[in-house]
Copies of this chain bind each other. A is one copy, B any other.
């Protein structure tokens, strides 16, 4: 069983490595957008390949540990949570790639407005990811529940971004393509926040053994 504990620790470490990498590509994708920097965009595409490789490694490690050992209780919950968190992180990486593609499209034309709310939304989303990973590391269900609450702030920012962009498009048809790109960036950030929420829910399940999905945040 000593061996099993070491392997679980190894899986834990790799998942955190994956989390750090994903957190970094999200930051880079927003930097590419805000600084109009194509070299940072290039890094995102390279990092994504490492993320995909890491996802497959973690997936096969987790599945092998389920097969070889017969984990129960918390170890079993850890393994199933690890497999789910792995999937969520990989999807977040995909979304950072989407944002970067929109950034490249936006860089190719003059800016329609200074970006204020999108970096703000990105900051809030990053906080959610960092907090959900922190809760996973420390096994802290209360910290995980804080993530679920921040989701409302992110949704409010998204709504205000949408409203502003719609009014831009209505006033000036030449802004349509760029405004659409920016709307999709906001949408992708919202989805990254959703994945951070999924991770936080998995942490609560891992720590407390209860499934809190599909429950209103207030009732937690």
The residues of A with any CB-CB pair to B shorter than 8 Å are 52-53, 55-56, 59-60, 63, 66-67, 70-73, 76-77, 80, 83-84, 87, 162, 166, 169-171, 173-174, 176-177, 180, 183-184, 187, 211, 213-214
Contacts and interface: CB of A to CB of B under 8 A. Distances in A.
A82 to B, nearest CB: 12
A173 B184 contact: no
A63 B80 contact: yes
A76 B84 contact: no
B67 A76 contact: yes
B177 A166 contact: yes
Nearest to A162: B180
B80 A66 contact: yes
26 contacts: A52-B213, A53-B214, A55-B213, A55-B214, A56-B211, A56-B214, A60-B211, A63-B76, A66-B76, A66-B80, A67-B71, A67-B76, A80-B83, A83-B83, A87-B87, A166-B176, A166-B180, A169-B169, A169-B173, A169-B180, A170-B174, A171-B173, A173-B173, A180-B183, A184-B187, A187-B187
B56 A67 contact: no
Contacts of A76: 63, 66-67
Nearest to A165: B180
A72 B169 CA distance: 57
A180 B170 CA distance: 11
A170 B177 CA distance: 9
A173 B59 CA distance: 48
A71 B162 CA distance: 49
Most buried by B among A83, A169, A174: A169
